[in-house]
Structure 1
Amino acid sequence: MRPDDWHLTEDVDGFLARAGEFLRSRPALHTVPLTVTEALRTRGADAYGAETPLFGSLERAGAVRAAFFRTPPRRLYLTPLTPEEASTLAARLAGLGHRLPGVSADHDTAAAFAEAWQRHTGATPTLHEQERLYRLGTLTPPQPLPEGRGRVAGEQDRDQLMLWHREFVADIGGSPAADNSSWADTRIADGRLTFWETPEGTPVSMAGMTPMVAGQIRVAPVYTPTHLRGRGYAGAATAEVSRAAMAVGAAEILLFADLDNPTSNGLYQRIGYRPVTDFAVYDFSCAAPEIR
């Protein structure tokens, strides 16, 4: 296998023409590339506040075997690769002068690529986060439910959603966008964010969902302000948005949980989510200069 066996493009439509069938063949495992490419296809790079994205696919005997995408300045995202495939991709990207801030993939692929990237560039990989992907089995709403009810967020909630999204991004160690209004506007327009609110009508938690692509919907984000945690609000909001995903006909309903957070992992399993596989996120330092 050679590094130039990877086909690279900046055209999302061209990428999906090549790799779309491959991504749809395993919708749970490929949930992130499916939802990200769909957003880029329908809304352009502004969907992620990104610079020009980069996509790649690896073909053998006329069939796509693996794929990746990157929406700068974010990390590289990979579908499962063998160590050899990870090495050839690292060699290809390093040879083109790309600088990567990190990688996200299933656990074994992320580790293999991190090692290969260090070998090809001298960059030092650091494990940033480990996540578990869950798939909904039988939805079992938490009992007892906290007082209150679920409600789909509307235009009147725009400022609240923007604030909570900034807090959520900060909570997970991300970099808040200067303007996250488009994030809120898109989800309000599509009815994809659900509040759990008190009997008095005060929102206390939110849960969102991605658009349905290839029959799968991913629950994200789930957020409760720090001072309101531990009262069952997140479980109630997650159950409500999961029910909404079922109502629109999703064949698979998925979510990620940080493995360092036993509370959220236990919560999701209690309401019916079952483990699929584990993912890892690495950060890279001292990478080679990027060609722009």
Structure 2
Amino acid sequence: MRPDGWYLTEDVEGFLARAGGFLSSRPALHTLPLTVTATLRTRGANVYGTEAPLFGWLERAGSVCATFFRTPPRRLNLTPLTVEQADALAARLAELGRCLPGVSADDESAAAFAAGWQHHTGAAPKLRARKRLYRLGALVPPRPGPEGRGRIANERDREQLVLWYREFTTELKEPASTDAGSWADTRIASGRLTLWETPDGTPVSMAGVTPKVANQIRVAPVYTPTPLRGRGYAGAATAEVSRAALAAGATEVVLFADLANPTSNALYQRIGYLPVTDFADYDFTPATPRGG
């Protein structure tokens, strides 16, 4: 039996060989590491950037009880940790000379790691956003719904999708995971993006899904241009992709909503999504960890 503690690697296959079972044991809560590692396996380690991703798992008595991953330049992402576990990870990464832009995790784990990182590096954390993870219960299509229909996006929609993706990432104020053209091409090719269009065929909203991993599918992104909001288009598009996810055999259909947006949170609950837990994103001021 190997000693207890954190184990780190840049090898996604090695990480999943040891921690894949742990991640699959709670597919809704672990939706992000499941889908990100699946993307890295199919599209290569450089899909999110030129710097190698980093993975880690925590062993206790021969079993994995927590994990993390980071795909630079994005924040560190954690599964739930105790205060002691979060502090030990912060100390380990600081000793290795790792510089982190921030952390994303459930509320308690994110706050614990942020405090540990500040203690070990001097980098001050700043709360950036809070999100709520929802899982689908019984789907309730919006009634009355907007006129129109949902359809899978195709090559003729590429220019529209590129524009909307740029608007979406600008609104989030987050670094895009890939360029807009590649993002659109990948989703068109895989059929993972649905448009809601009006009766005259005009696209007015989009909703995407991640590939099915461990029988879970995450709805992302959902976007309606600002001038078209408040007409029920996003709800209709989300209900359409949620129905399709269930038809594809997903036993867990999940999504994240920004807690600063009460409209979207209320919308998702009206169509059958139930709260799972709250997440927090912290940004760290630039600092050089001790060690390394």
**Does the pair score TM above 0.5?**
yes
Deviations 1:120-159 (A, max 9, x none): 0000100000000000011111111111110100111111
Contact 1:122 1:286 in 2 (8 A): no
Q: Return the offset for 1:290.
A: 9.9
Counting only pairs closer than 5 Å after superposition, residues 175-214 of structure 1 correspond to structure 2 as: 175-176=175-176, 179-214=179-214
Contact 1:193 1:208 in 2 (8 A): yes
Distance 1:163 1:12, change over 3 A: same
Deviations 1:149-185 (A, max 9, x none): 1010011111111111111111111134673222111
Distance 1:172 1:199, change over 3 A: same
Residues in 1 aligned to 2:204 and 2:49: alpha-carbon distance in whole angstroms: 28
Identity %: 72
Contact 2:131 2:280 in 1 (8 A): yes
Residues in 1 aligned to 2:175 and 2:37: alpha-carbon distance in whole angstroms: 21
Counterpart for residue 38 of structure 1: 38
218-227 vs 282-291, which deviates more? 282-291
Contact 1:99 1:290 in 2 (8 A): no
Residues in 2 aligned to 1:208 and 1:29: alpha-carbon distance in whole angstroms: 19
Structure 1 segments, 4+ long, off by >6 Å, are none
SS state at 1:45 partner: coil
Counterpart for residue 122 of structure 1: 122
Contact 2:4 2:58 in 1 (8 A): no
Q: So what's the TM-score if we normalise by structure 2?
A: 0.96
The one-letter code sitting in structure 1 at the alignment partner of 2:111 is A
Counterpart for residue 244 of structure 1: 244
**How well do the aligned residues superpose, as a CA RMSD in angstroms?**
1.7
Distance 1:279 1:189, change over 3 A: same
Count of residues in correspondence between the two structures: 290
The gaps in structure 2 that reach 5 residues or longer are none
The one-letter code sitting in structure 1 at the alignment partner of 2:270 is R
Contact 2:47 2:178 in 1 (8 A): no
Residues in 2 aligned to 1:202 and 1:175: alpha-carbon distance in whole angstroms: 29
Q: Return the offset for 1:241.
A: 0.6
Counterpart for residue 274 of structure 1: 274
Distance 1:291 1:44, change over 3 A: farther
Counting only pairs closer than 5 Å after superposition, residues 58-137 of structure 1 correspond to structure 2 as: 58-137=58-137
Q: So what's the TM-score if we normalise by structure 1?
A: 0.96
Deviations 1:187-244 (A, max 9, x none): 1111110000011111000000000000100000000001110111000000001011
Residues in 2 aligned to 1:191 and 1:112: alpha-carbon distance in whole angstroms: 39
2:179 aligned with 1:168: no
SS state at 2:47 partner: helix
Distance 1:17 1:82, change over 3 A: same
